[in-house]
């Protein structure tokens, strides 16, 4: 009698059931579609691949060709109406895929290394689409194309080598070889490393600009600094140990004429402070526990060749004559032991230098020449710098303000006393300063009213002691009633003529300047310059013996002018007799080159006037490196670069230069 009642499904369960049925149906259809798609795209052999690809169409970019059991996908390009294959993708009968661009094999697709084995059309379609876009592939493949062009250029360039342009082509070819490499694989030749080192140490900013301009491929500055650390040429190592080690290395590359030298001695003032860097401290004076306030610099200047070089640097605080004499003698004896022939010394007009030089005589006495401490049969000359003397004469004239700027000097040919007036020269400048055309065009306000710093500039002194000023005084003196203009012109002409004689730098200067007083000095009795120097010695003696205490040079300037002029006469006589030289150039016996070196120190240290001991050491080290690193020349051939290795090693143990400039330096 019982009956069952139907239970109605809830709406939520019904909705859930229907959704699940739809999901199951979708999954089933997806699996069926996947299976059908795989049947159309997957393959296990070349026959299946060929059947699969028949049902697909490709863009116009590709041409599909089957040949010799290979399926080829080609892209053609026209250049000058000539067809060529740009891209080519091939699938071999063993299903290996290969790709080329312009005949060059493509080794990488994205991060996949080609060749690869394919078993799905999608892999092929991805590669074809990637090549069709062509952005990355062309950049990689164009590199191969560029390498091919570079190699062709190198091959053709090697056929046109000549001795005249050999080094240019070597540089050109090396740059081409570097273009083929990635930056981390750059390798440089010795000549490029030498050239880069020279440019870097002379001007780091210029080197940086040249590298950043990409006109040349040059080494990184860190590579150049490594080379600088290997070349141990810092003067700092010569203070206490390895005395004159740089001069020893330089000696081996010099000729006989280079070894006959004068020793230039001068000091440069520095700012006193200690400097710590790279584990060492500098700034102390070598002879005391005080901070160094100046640096004594010794420079060699050859009398018969262009050779010049700084060979010793000593930081000092206070220096008396005995200590300076000991140092001078130590340097001279050290140079003589090396093989140099030190003919004399040149210093400025400081009294301590005169007293130190006088100690070479026994008892001490200032002389033009002494017995050489290394060989008593040879003379050792002592000369006061002629550049310094010229400035002293000008400064003595400027200091006569209490006397009205007058010089009372004896006439050069007679015993009459003449008057030279600086005020007349200044009045001449005032008359012509606003004129367009001038007789004394070289005169400037700085030359006539110099500051204390400008008094050190020899160029300003030469504007006063000039033949142009002589002509201007003779032409305008009577017209404008200039006081003592004729006698002033004569005095300026005497000093100017003396300077012309002692400042000859080249044998043909006299011919070029059309001035017989600028000819090289000879020992011939008829030589006009030699006769003038002898007459000048007498003139200085007469002037010094005048009874007047006013209007004259200082005692030190009288001594220096007389002493140096006599020394020049003795030197030319000695050189013509002992060395059989026809003439000498007196500008070789000046500290002008040493002052120029001081200017380089200040310039390379950031254009500072008061530089430090550390800056002097570092700049001198760079200058020595630039002096020793020389590029090969097609005239002189390859030049060996010395290693300044301070350690005492056998020749077999010393590191050769090839190890520094070998190909494994990046």
Look at residues 104, 122, 139 and tell me which one is the last residue of a structural domain: 139
| Parallel/antiparallel/unpaired status of strands 260-269 and 294-302 | antiparallel
3-state secondary structure 173-232: HHHHHHHCCCHHHCCCCHHHHHHHHHHHHHCHHHHHHHHHHCCCCCCCHHHHHHHHHHCC
H/E run at residue 384: strand 379-384
User: What's the confidence (pLDDT) of residue 446?
Assistant: 94
Cα separation, 460 vs 443, in Å, equals: 9
Q: Give the pLDDT mean for 52-71.
A: 81
| Parallel/antiparallel/unpaired status of strands 280-282 and 108-109 | unpaired
Q: Is the pLDDT of residue 590 over 90?
A: yes
643 is written with which tokens?
């290693």
Q: Do 431 and 488 fall within a single domain? A: yes
User: What's the confidence (pLDDT) of residue 663?
Assistant: 38
pLDDT digits (tens, 9 = 90+) for 523-568: 998 999 999 999 999 999 999 998 877 889 999 999 999 999 999 9
Q: What percent of the chain has pLDDT over 90?
A: 43
Whether 262 and 589 have beta carbons less than 8 Å apart is answered as yes
Q: Give the pLDDT mean for 132-155.
A: 60
In a domain, 360, yes or no: yes
Q: Do 442 and 476 fall within a single domain? A: yes
Cβ–Cβ contacts within 10 Å for residue 205, how many?
8
- Asked which of 64-68, 208-212, 238-242 is least confident by mean pLDDT, the reply is 238-242
pLDDT digits (tens, 9 = 90+) for 179-193: 777 787 888 888 888
Residue of 197 and 109 predicted with greater confidence: 197
Residue 222 burial class via C-beta count within 10 angstroms: exposed 0-12, middle 13-18, buried 19 and up: exposed
Residue 504 burial class via C-beta count within 10 angstroms: exposed 0-12, middle 13-18, buried 19 and up: buried
Cα separation, 552 vs 455, in Å, equals: 19
Q: Do 556 and 630 fall within a single domain? A: no
Look at residues 139, 154, 182 and tell me which one is the last residue of a structural domain: 139
In a domain, 371, yes or no: yes
What region, left, alpha or beta, does residue 134 occupy, with left being phi > 0 and alpha being psi -120 to 50 degrees? left
User: What's the confidence (pLDDT) of residue 278?
Assistant: 74
pLDDT digits (tens, 9 = 90+) for 309-336: 999 999 998 888 999 999 999 999 999 9
156 is written with which tokens?
């053709």
Cβ–Cβ contacts within 10 Å for residue 326, how many?
13
Cβ–Cβ contacts within 10 Å for residue 120, how many?
14
Within the chain, how many helices (H) and strands (E) appear?
23, 18
> What confidence tier does 178 reach under pLDDT thresholds 50, 70, 90?
confident
Q: Is the pLDDT of residue 511 over 60?
A: yes
Cα separation, 190 vs 632, in Å, equals: 9
Look at residues 547, 565, 588 and tell me which one is the last residue of a structural domain: 588
| Parallel/antiparallel/unpaired status of strands 82-91 and 96-101 | antiparallel
Q: Is the pLDDT of residue 135 over 50?
A: no
Q: Do 540 and 412 fall within a single domain? A: yes
Q: Does the N-terminal peptide bond of residue 417 adopt cis geometry, omega within 30 degrees of 0?
A: no
Query: What string of DSSP letters covers 541-558?
Result: HHHHT-S-SSSS--HHHH
Which residues constitute the domain of residue 433? 388-588
Q: Tell me the three state secondary structure of residue 518.
A: helix
**φ, ψ of residue 299 in degrees (nearest 5):** -130, 140
Longest dimension (CA), the chain: 175
Residue of 157 and 266 predicted with greater confidence: 266
In a domain, 147, yes or no: no
pLDDT digits (tens, 9 = 90+) for 443-485: 999 999 999 989 989 999 999 999 999 999 999 999 999 999 9
Domain count, the chain: 4
Q: Which residues are CB-neighbours of 77 under 8 A, at least 6 positions away? A: 83, 84, 85, 86
Cα separation, 185 vs 665, in Å, equals: 10
Q: Buried (b) or exposed (e) across 544-572, using 16+ Cβ within 10 A?
A: beeeeeebbbeebbbbbbbbbbbbbbebb
95 is written with which tokens?
């299903």
Residue of 340 and 664 predicted with greater confidence: 340
Q: Give the pLDDT mean for 237-262.
A: 86
Q: Do 283 and 265 fall within a single domain? A: yes
User: What's the confidence (pLDDT) of residue 146?
Assistant: 63
Q: Do 244 and 369 fall within a single domain? A: yes
Q: Do 449 and 467 fall within a single domain? A: yes
In a domain, 409, yes or no: yes
Q: Do 490 and 392 fall within a single domain? A: yes
Distance of CA 251 to the CA centre of its chain: 22
Q: Do 420 and 465 fall within a single domain? A: yes
Q: Do 442 and 482 fall within a single domain? A: yes
Distance of CA 237 to the CA centre of its chain: 22
Q: Do 375 and 262 fall within a single domain? A: yes
Q: Do 357 and 395 fall within a single domain? A: no
Q: Which of 475, 474, 536 is nearest to 500 (CA)?
A: 536
184 is written with which tokens?
């981390």
Q: Give the pLDDT mean for 374-393.
A: 95
């Amino acid at each position: 009698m019982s009956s069952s009642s139907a239970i109605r499904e809830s709406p939520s369960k019904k909705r859930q059931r229907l959704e699940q049925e739809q999901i199951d149906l979708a999954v089933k259809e997806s699996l069926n579609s996947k299976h059908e798609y795989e049947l159309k795209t997957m393959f296990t052999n070349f026959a299946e691949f060929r059947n699969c690809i028949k049902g697909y169409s490709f863009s116009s970019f590709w041409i599909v060709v089957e040949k010799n059991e290979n399926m080829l996908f080609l892209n053609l390009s026209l250049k000058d109406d000539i067809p060529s294959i740009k891209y080519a993708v091939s699938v071999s009968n063993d299903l290996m895929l290969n790709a080329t661009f312009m005949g060059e094999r493509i080794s990488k697709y994205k991060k996949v290394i080609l060749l690869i084995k394919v078993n799905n059309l999608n892999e092929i379609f991805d590669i074809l689409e990637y090549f069709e876009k062509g952005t990355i592939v062309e950049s990689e493949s164009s590199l191969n194309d560029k390498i091919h062009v570079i190699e062709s250029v190198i091959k053709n360039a090697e056929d046109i080598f000549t001795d005249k342009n050999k080094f240019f082509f070597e540089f050109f070819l090396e740059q081409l070889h570097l273009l083929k490499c990635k930056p981390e694989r750059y390798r440089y030749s010795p000549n490029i490393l030498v050239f880069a080192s020279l440019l870097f140490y002379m001007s780091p900013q210029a080197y940086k600009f040249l590298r950043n301009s990409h006109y040349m491929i040059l080494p990184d500055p860190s590579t150049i600094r490594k080379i600088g650390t290997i070349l141990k040429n810092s003067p700092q190592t010569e203070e206490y140990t390895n005395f004159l080690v740089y001069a020893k290395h330089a000696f081996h590359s010099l000729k006989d004429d280079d070894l006959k030298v004068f020793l230039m001695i001068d000091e440069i003032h520095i700012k006193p402070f200690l400097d710590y860097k790279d584990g060492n401290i500098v700034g102390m004076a070598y002879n005391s526990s005080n901070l160094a306030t100046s640096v004594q610099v010794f420079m060699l200047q050859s009398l018969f060749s262009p050779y010049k070089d700084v060979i010793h640097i000593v930081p000092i605080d206070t220096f008396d004559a005995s200590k300076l004499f000991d140092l001078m003698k130590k340097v001279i004896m050290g140079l003589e032991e090396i093989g140099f022939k030190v003919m004399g010394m040149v210093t400025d007009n400081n009294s301590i230098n005169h007293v130190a030089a006088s100690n070479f005589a026994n008892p001490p006495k200032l002389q033009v020449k002494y017995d050489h401490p290394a060989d008593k049969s040879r003379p050792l000359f002592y000369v006061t710098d002629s550049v310094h003397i010229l400035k002293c004469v000008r400064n003595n004239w400027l200091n006569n303000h209490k006397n009205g700027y007058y010089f009372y000097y004896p006439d050069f040919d007679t015993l009459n006393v003449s008057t030279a007036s600086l005020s007349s020269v200044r009045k001449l400048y005032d008359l012509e300063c606003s004129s367009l055309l001038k007789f004394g065009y070289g005169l400037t306000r700085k030359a006539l009213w110099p500051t204390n710093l400008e008094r050190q500039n020899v160029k300003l002194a030469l504007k006063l002691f000039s033949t142009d000023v002589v002509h201007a005084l003779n032409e305008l003196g009577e017209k404008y009633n200039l006081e003592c203009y004729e006698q002033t012109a004569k005095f300026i002409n005497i000093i100017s003529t003396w300077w012309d004689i002692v400042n000859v730098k080249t044998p043909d200067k006299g011919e070029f300047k059309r001035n017989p007083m600028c000819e090289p000095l000879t020992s011939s009795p008829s030589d006009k310059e030699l006769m003038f120097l002898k007459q000048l010695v007498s003139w200085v003696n007469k002037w010094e013996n005048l009874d007047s205490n006013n209007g004259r040079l200082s005692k030190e300037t009288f001594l220096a002018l007389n002493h140096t002029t006599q020394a020049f006469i003795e030197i030319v006589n000695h050189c013509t007799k002992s060395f059989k030289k026809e003439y000498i150039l007196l500008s070789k016996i000046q500290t002008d080159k040493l002052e120029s070196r001081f200017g380089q120190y200040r310039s390379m240290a950031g254009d500072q006037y008061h530089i430090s001991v550390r800056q002097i050491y570092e700049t001198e080290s760079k200058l020595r490196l630039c002096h020793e690193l020389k590029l090969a020349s097609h005239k002189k051939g390859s030049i060996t670069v010395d290693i300044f290795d301070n350690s005492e090693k056998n020749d077999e143990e010393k590191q050769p230069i090839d190890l520094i400039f070998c190909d494994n330096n990046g």
